[in-house]
Each structure stands twice: as C-alpha cells, then as structure tokens.
A and B are shown apart, each in its own frame.
Chain A
Amino acid sequence: MGGLVKAEFRKIFTVNLWWALLIPVAVLSFGAGWIGTAFGSIEQMQEAAGRSLPTGLLTVSMSTNYSTIFAALFGALAVAGEHRHKSITTTYLTGNPRGAVLGAKLIAYTNIGLLYGLVNVLSASIGGLLGAGLDGFGNPVDWFTVGGAGLLAMVLWTLLGVGFGALVTNSIVAVLVLVAYKFVIEFILSVVLLGSEIAGFVAYLPGAASNGIVGNLAVPIFISAVAGDSEPYVQVEAFQVLHFFFGGTYGHPWWLSLLTFLGYTAAFVLGGWLVSRRRDIT
C-alpha cells in the first residue's frame, strides 16, 4: 500500500496539473481576502461599531467557498484523468485489488487537498492583512477555527472529486458536471426549493453544506464580535445577508454542515469504489 501511495504522489508531481489548478486558488483567495476586507462600506461599519471587525474571517470563508472547486476538479482527474490518458490499464496491472489503488489515491489526494487548503487560507489571510491589517482577524483562536474549517472543506471537496471521477471516468463529463453543479445547478435548485415547502432542505444541498462548514463558523463569530453583549438583539436579517455573501445558513450549526457534506463525500467515494471494482477496462 505504501508503494501505491508513493506511486500516486509521483504521478501527481510529475505533471503540471497540481500547480496549474493551485494558481487560481492562490490568486482568487488573495483577491477575495484583499478586496473583501478593503471594501469601503466595511470601514464605515467599523466606524459605526466603534471598533475593528474580524472581516478577515468572512473573506477566508468566501475564498474557501469558491476555491474548493479547483480542489474538486483536481480530485476528479485522479481516476478520470487516468481513463482519459489510458494509463488506468497500467495502474490496475500494477496495483491489486482496484480498491487499494483507489485507497492510495484517496490518501495521496487528501494531502493535496490539505496543500490547497493551506494555500487558500494563507492567501486569503495575507490578502486580509493587506486590506484590513491585523485587526481584521479578531482573536487568533477564531482565525485557527475558521482556517481549520477551510482546510477540512478543501480536503472533502478533493475526496468527493476523486470519488466522482472514479464514478463517471469521463474527465470532460466530470469537470463539466462539477463546475455546472457548483455555479449553476445548485443555484437554480435552491431558488426553486426556497419557494417551496421544503425550503429548509437548501442547507443540505452539497454546495450549501460545504459552504456552511466555514460560513456557519465565520458568520456567527463575526456577529458576536461585532455585536458584543448585544448579540441577542441582532436582527436575523443581518445574519442572513452575511450568510448569503459568505456562505452558510442562518441557525444551521457548522458541524451539521460538515456531517452533511461528509455524507456526500462518502457516497461518491463509495459509489466510485463499487463501480470501478467491476468495471471492464477495454
């Protein structure tokens, strides 16, 4: 098994894809961190509140919600890419059983997910530092909490991608479906659902669940930092607006989002494993 994991790391680092997809993560996260915190209205909010606000936490949440797609695409190409380049034959000829190959990929890609997560959190934080200064991060415990949730979301998206890629094997389909779902399909779904009786289900959609891992931590931390002792009197609308921009759902605990998204990830990984176990490689 150790050999198979080592093989996967070598496959990852001997082609350009891992850094080609990491660049947009770094750029987007940095941009979100910088622009998001330097935004004029936040300054006015700070003046109104009479103290510095941990806006850096919010932008880390936002950058995570967008940059996870790159980790998911990278993960999806773990198996689908091998089908595309027809190297899957050699991979299965040198790794037995197929579940061990998938397991090795999951281990290796967990590490890449962590790398992507670190780059995201650090870039967003550097951007936040430039935009809002050290004051934008609140207390260090909050920063570590939100950053840790960001890492978790990134790793889970990577693994979901691996499972999804193993399930569909067609790399073009895998990439298109992931991107379309993340930016179009779930948006339409949630609009439709919000107008229905099961509006509460929106928070359990994959995208909302993953955004909630960070957003449902960052937004309440932000509110409580802003409102201080008067937090119970903060209007629900304030939460809802912040959640809309920075991810999460009002009143939804972050761990429930985590469990939900963990479920999706497990389902895709399990599905990918079951299907690839029996698939004929022709």
Chain B
Amino acid sequence: MHDGSGRILVQGLSKNFGPIDAVRNLHFTVEPGSVTGFLGPNGSGKTTTLRMILGLIAPSAGVATINGLPFAQLSNPGTVVGAVLEAQSFHPGRTARNHLRSYAAAMDVPDQQADQVLELVGLGSAATRKTGGFSLGMRQRLALATALLGDPQVLVLDEPSNGLDPEGIAWLRGFLKSFAATGRTVLVSSHLLREMEHTVDHVVIVSQGQCVYNGDLGQLRSAQRSRVLVRAADPGKLVTALQHSGFVVEHLPDGRLAVLDSDSRTVADLALQAGVALYDMQDEHVDLEQLFFQLTNGQYTGGAAPWGGPGPAGGAPPWGPPGGGFAPPAPQQTGQQPHQPQDAALWGAPQQGHRRENENGDSGGKA
C-alpha cells in the first residue's frame, strides 16, 4: 500500500535510447502542497522523465516513486495520480462522455464523476460530441478531465498549455494553484519559464537530461542581482574603498572589477572619493528568463557549458551568499572550458538554495 504522502521521488533516474542519453542520473523530489515546475528546453528529457515517473517508460537506471511506490506497484493508479501527457489521445469515434465513462469503470469510480469533470473543465456542452471533432484546446481540456477523473492526489502535466487560448491558460494556472492549495501535488513541465513564473512555487530545471537547478522559484528570482563592471586605473585602491563601504568585489579575468549589488552611480561616487580614475563602467542585470536560458543553454552548444559547477563540498563563488548557494553539476566532464566568473555569478545567488545532491565524486572543478 502506498504511503499517501503525495510525494514524487526521483532517484538516479537515467534513460538511454540506444546511444542517446535522454536522461542522466536525475534526482529531485516533488512535495505536496505546491506547484512544481519542471523546466527545460525541448529535448532536455522532460517528457521521458515524466513518462518514467508514470511507469510508461522503463528507466535504464534509477527509480521513481509516487507515494513511496514505483508506479507499477500502485493499485488502482488512476486514483493516486492523474496525468496529462503529450501524445495521449482518444478514439475519434467515441464521445467525450463515453471516453470518460470507460475509464471511470477502469478506476471503479461512479459514472457521475465523468460529468462532473466535464463540467469542471468547461466541456459540459460537448459531452455527447465525438472527440474526433474536438479542437486542440478541447482535447487538452478533455485530457485534463481524464486526469482528474479518479480524484487523484498527484497531478502530472506535460506542457499542458499547448493549444490552450490565453483564457484557458489563465484558467489552468488558477486551477493548478487551487489544486495544490488543497495539499495535493502538482508537477507541470514547460519549456518556457515565463509561462510558469506565476504558477509555480518550486522549480526543477533540466538541461541535457541533467538537473541544473532544483529549488524555490523565489530563491532563483533573488539571483536576479545587478552588478557593476568597472575598469579602474588603480583597481587595488578601488577595491579597498569598495570593501570599506561593504561591497563584495570580484576580479574579472579581463582586469575589470565586478561590484555586486551596486549601481554605477554609487561606484562612481566612491571612486571619486578614493581618487581613482574610471575608464569604463557597465551596469549588468540578469532577469529570470535570461537566467533560465543561461542555465539551460549548454544543451545545443556542443561543448561544455561555460560555467563550471562547484563541487558539493562548497567552494562558493567569491560573491556567493554566505550559505554557499546550490551546487550545479558540471554538465559535462570532458573538455571543460575555463570558467567565466560572470556566469558563475548566476549560480551564487540563492541564499538558501537547495543544494543539488551531486552523486558524482568527480563532479568537476570549482567556479
């Protein structure tokens, strides 16, 4: 019997299709009571991971459990977890109601439940229509109705807003939030962080089949720090002055200084007071979307991602938070490029970020 926790646990999950590693040693936990976003570019292994969690694809290694059990061991799984997946469809000649009643029978839930979920997703008037004539949006709603049919504790959705109109997307967001607010679990995948920004509380970001961030969205957001890049005639003197005023300063390889949590005006004023000439100043901001892009853009560049992950034992970047932040894995061990601190800055920010448990002892150098 499952433990009823509503928790999804993914441990060391890997899947290779022939020579292609779709998912590599993935670890994360999805807790009930909140909406967890599962983010990554197309082809990053999201769908494969969700299908492994749901027992549709057999992992090459590792396990995924729902309520403490692998999917295959859940009895009457439709009442534990509901799922809306891509490439999941209906017989075109069957009406929406008959489709739902068929699966209501499979789950041993009353037939009235079929009409209730149809009303819930706004398809009440289309109940007796054959699904072959449904629009993409209607199909998506019917898929959600099917997922909700067994009144499950856990909801897994793969790119659910595909095909939905803006109104439908807004409705879905509200629905997922209220579903999670009842103490149930929602795991929803997307390739757009912006789309999920207002829905999710927690994010798992994958790239190239590996987890690159697992933590609170608020903490990720706090990584949107600004810094000032400055070229000074006498860097040493300026650093002293800046540090005296409580700023964290980093030396960039090109000889410039990066001043965290500052702006050009403050730095200029301090430089003037210290009597240091400035040749070049630049304000730098990183927004959430950019952050997401940077976290995941290693995927198509062929080589290693430009940032290196600090090992699990810490080694926080110089401007990292006291807590050390989370440790990203090194996406690839081979051919690692020299680390660029401005990228490392993206990593250092979250104050209490979840440290991704890095299983590989050899997980790369420090930033």
Contact = CB atoms under 8 A, between A and B. Distances in A.
Given A85-B92, A278-B58, A93 B108 contact: no
Interface stretch (A10-18, A24-32, A40-48, A155-163): A10-18
Contacts of A7: 102-103, 105-106
A96 B89 contact: no
B155 to A, nearest CB: 12
B94 A15 contact: yes
B12 interface: no
Interface string A120-163: 00000000000000000000000000000000000000000000
Contact of A280 (B57, B71, B85, B107): B57
Interface stretch (B72-80, B285-293, B320-328, B336-344): B72-80
B105 A6 contact: yes
A207 B252 CA distance: 79
Contacts of B75: 96
Interface residues of B, number: 39
Nearest to B83: A93
A280 B56 CA distance: 6
Interface in B60-87: 71-78, 81-83, 85, 87
A4 interface: yes
Contacts of B57: 280-282
Contacts of B91: 11, 15, 81, 85, 87
Contacts of A91: 103, 106
Interface string A241-266: 00000000000000000000000000
B297 interface: no
A280 B23 CA distance: 15
Contacts of B71: 96
A89 B88 contact: yes
A181 to B, nearest CB: 26
A95 B106 CA distance: 7
B355 interface: no
Interface in B87-103: 87-95, 98-99, 101-103
Contacts of A16: 93
A3 interface: yes
Contacts of B107: 3, 94
Contact of B106 (A15, A94, A97, A282): A94
Contacts of B212: none
Contacts of A85: 89-92
Given A86-B87, A89-B56, A94 B103 contact: yes
B122 interface: no
Nearest to A17: B93
B161 interface: no
B90 A87 contact: yes
B87 A282 contact: yes
B49 interface: no
Contacts of A89: 56, 85, 87-88
A6 B101 CA distance: 10
Nearest to A93: B83
A92 interface: yes
A90 interface: yes
B146 interface: yes
Interface string A80-120: 01000111011111111100000000000000000000000
B173 interface: no
A86 B76 CA distance: 20
B54 interface: yes
Contact of A3 (B55, B74, B108): B108
A10 B75 CA distance: 21
Nearest to B91: A85
Contacts of A4: 105-106
A10 B101 contact: yes
B150 interface: yes
Contacts of A92: 55-56
B51 interface: yes
A137 to B, nearest CB: 39
A3 B79 CA distance: 13
B102 A11 contact: yes
Interface in A260-281: 278, 280-281
A96 B74 contact: yes
Interface string B94-127: 1100110111011110000000000000000000
Contact of B78 (A87, A94, A280): A94
A104 B107 CA distance: 13
A3 B102 CA distance: 9
A212 to B, nearest CB: 36
A3 B77 contact: no
A16 B81 CA distance: 31
Nearest to A92: B56
Contacts of B82: 93
Given A7-B102, A14-B102, A16-B93, A93 B58 contact: no
B53 to A, nearest CB: 11
Interface in B10-61: 48, 51, 54-58
Given A3-B107, A15-B94, 19 more contacts: A3-B105, A7-B103, A10-B98, A10-B105, A11-B94, A11-B102, A14-B102, A90-B103, A90-B146, A93-B77, A93-B81, A93-B82, A93-B83, A96-B75, A96-B77, A97-B72, A280-B56, A281-B56, A281-B57
12 contacts: A4-B106, A7-B103, A11-B102, A14-B94, A14-B99, A86-B87, A86-B89, A94-B77, A94-B78, A278-B58, A280-B51, A281-B51
Interface of A: 3-4, 6-7, 10-11, 14-16, 81, 85-87, 89-97, 278, 280-282
